[in-house]
Amino acid sequence: MAFHLPTLYAAPSTFLLVSSPHSRQTNSIPATARRHRRRNPARPVKATTLAEEASTDCDDTKLSAWTSVRQERWEGELAVEGRLPDWLNGTYLRNGPGLWDVGGGDFHHLFDGYATLVRISFRQGRATGAHRQIESDAYKAAVASGRPVLREFSQCPKPRNLLDRVTNAVGIASGAVLTVADL
């Protein structure tokens, strides 16, 4: 399964050289990187998976934070359009929402999506990436039942019967909301 990452822009030139008018010290990236930067101004860098994109109906207006990642695990090399700076070596980690819907239920608040770890490593002008769905108890229960069954930050599971409806109403009124799951 292919997914689309938005275009990443190279760092602005002010990022490369940071100095204070009150100090003679300069905190900078090596001189070779500065010379390379002057010869090659910032250009957009687009990271995509090496696999062909299955469809071209990507909704570019939708923020990537609200897009569900359908694969539980993925690791591979990312294609780079343009050139990554030679000095860029390191790893970007993100822990955040990755799955916004399970079966018939979906989430609408940023804190409610099931967590996914994303890693992008930069080494010698190449980029590799990986992501993994966090297998929390709430995620496992939702996958097993085909719908969210545990209360999330802003969302209650749909009541299955009258007792669930009464429990939710009492919990909200008393401030002590309880979650009961049949696992």
Q: Is 180 helix (H, G, I), strand (E, B) or coil?
A: coil
**What string of DSSP letters covers 38-81?**
HHS---EEEEEESSPPS-S---TTS-GGGS----SEEEEEEEEE
Per the listing, tokens 């108890």 go with 137
pLDDT at 168 over 90: no
Lowest mean pLDDT among 131-135, 163-167, 172-176: 172-176
**% residues pLDDT > 70 (the chain):** 57
104 lies in which domain range? 4-149
Pick 10 or 161 by higher pLDDT: 161
Residue 162 has pLDDT above 90, yes or no: no
**Contact 125/84 with Cβ under 8 angstroms?**
yes
- Asked whether residue 154 is assigned to any structural domain, the reply reads no
Q: How many domains would you assign to the chain?
A: 1
Residue 135 pLDDT > 70: yes
| Structural domain contains residue 114 | yes
Q: Is residue 52 part of a domain?
A: yes
For residue 180, being part of any structural domain is answered with: no
Is there a domain that residue 173 lies in? Answer: no
> What's the CA gap between 153 and 83, in Å, rounded?
41
182 is a domain residue: no
Q: What is the pLDDT of residue 5?
A: 46
Q: Is residue 23 part of a domain?
A: yes
Q: Is the pTM of this model over 0.75?
A: no
163 within domain boundaries: no
What are the residue ranges of helices labelled H in the chain? 13-16, 31-39, 137-145, 162-174
